[in-house]
Amino acid sequence: MDQITAIDMESKEAGIIAPLITRARTAMQQIAHYDQAQTDELVIALAWSLYQPEQAERLAKLAVQDTGLGNVPDKIIKNQRKTFGTLRDLLRAKSVGVIEENAALGLVKFAKPIGVVAAVTPSTNPAATPVNKAMMALKGRNAIIIAPSPAGSETTSQTVDAMRAELKRIGAPEDLVQILPPPPSKALTDALMKAADLVVVTGSQDNVRRAAMSGTPAIGVGAGNVPVMIDETADFDDAAAKILASKTFDNSTSCSSENAVVIVDAGYDQAIAALEKMGGYMCTAEDAKRIESILWQKGNLNRHLIARDAAILAEAFGLPEAAAKAKFFMVPESGYGKAHPFSGEKLSLVLAVYRAKNFEDACGIIRNILDYQGRGHSCGIHTRDLNRAWKMAETLDVVRVLVNFAHTFGNGGGFNSGLNFTLSMGCGSWQKNSISENLSYKHFLNITHLVKPIPEDKPAEADLFGNYWAKYGK
């Protein structure tokens, strides 16, 4: 493409985006006077547009039909659980007017909208993620324009239609929530990112990188590849039950799904027995070679097999009859990196199994796995020794370390987890993300600081330098 053609294309895409931005800003002006109660009503409306049982089921069915990823029962749960949990968190927070006062410091903080948000959403959650981001954006009295994944665009389009209809029902501006016109394209998404005030990206790392280069403040999240340790002190049945529930949820579409289990040698046999009792099938070395040759095609995951049911995988992998009724497949592994693809994210019901000499060796294995893929995201441990969890949090480069959790249900917020509900998890500078926490409404606010005089707080030089002078001299 020559330079003139490139400029023409850019102008064409910008011309499509400009009216969307104008409508979004007009809608924001119409709610600029909203108080906290009115703002929260907007959020409730968006939540109800997906949470209501008929909608949650309809959009779950459409998502599986649209993308071929996951399964309907779990997507229904995801549509409702994530929406309900996020609504709980948002209704407990202040986001309008004065949100904090500190008399001792003479500070008052006022929340202001950040502007028009460009939200890039993934095919794995084409309904839940758009609603999740829209709820957070409107909590700050922003407007949002969603760029859907091509694979899930029909589901996302109907999800946006439902949000707009619910806003209209309560007398609020529909253009607070918009979607790019079809068909989805990288060029149109790039133009949106350049024109918006904030970009929030969940999905491919290519999209995250392009958002960072858009010239607009961007929040991107990193890739998952969760390793979870089972040590010799664990409740093996409890650990296996939680790993089953998490690994199989929505056929492993979640970035928080376990991709490897690292078992300390002293508890290895008990842990494997518990996992097999829960429906795990332990693959032989020959099984593993066959799975690797089929699950990866030319170095990339086979899109026809990711996030598919276990029975489909067992047949596709040519596994023996004993695997036909398995719920997930365990593959022994000892290496890391491109030459050992099982050490990476698999987006399927395949779980790599590592055997560690002891706790310290297990930590080293987890570090090696994360260094290959998923550094910064998260890891977990099943143990009765909380000092070990503390040690992992101290020494491993991850944002989240979960203890005795079904990882998928705790990492993105849970009713028994202190993390806020989200479908977007920051991974810090380890994955070149601007946040090292779960995405929340706070990331959709500008804050004005009112600063008032306080009694002078100026210590003497000796208070600050005294110990240093005594040790090294002036």
CA separation, residue 279 to residues 282, 294, 347, 440, 443 (Å): 10, 22, 18, 36, 41
Backbone angles phi, psi at 282, to 5 degrees: -85, 115
User: By C-alpha distance, which of 353, 355, 357, 435 is closest to 399?
Assistant: 435
User: By C-alpha distance, which of 101, 273, 112, 314 is closest to 198?
Assistant: 112
CA separation, residue 77 to residues 56, 203, 243, 443, 470 (Å): 8, 20, 18, 26, 63
232 vs 240: CA distance, rounded Å: 13
**Catalytic choice (255, 283, 363, 427):** 255
Q: What is the layout of strands, in order, in the sheet containing 226-230?
A: 280-282, 328-332, 350-356, 258-264, 226-230, 376-382, 398-403
Residue 66: how many other CB atoms lie within 10 Å: 21
User: By C-alpha distance, which of 77, 16, 17, 31 is closest to 51?
Assistant: 77
Please say if 363 is a catalytic residue.
no
Positive/negative CA dihedral, 361, 362, 367, 372: positive
**What letter does residue 231 receive in the DSSP assignment?**
-
**What letter does residue 182 receive in the DSSP assignment?**
S
Residue 311 bridge partners (DSSP) = none
Where in the sequence numbering do the catalytic residues fall? Answer: 255
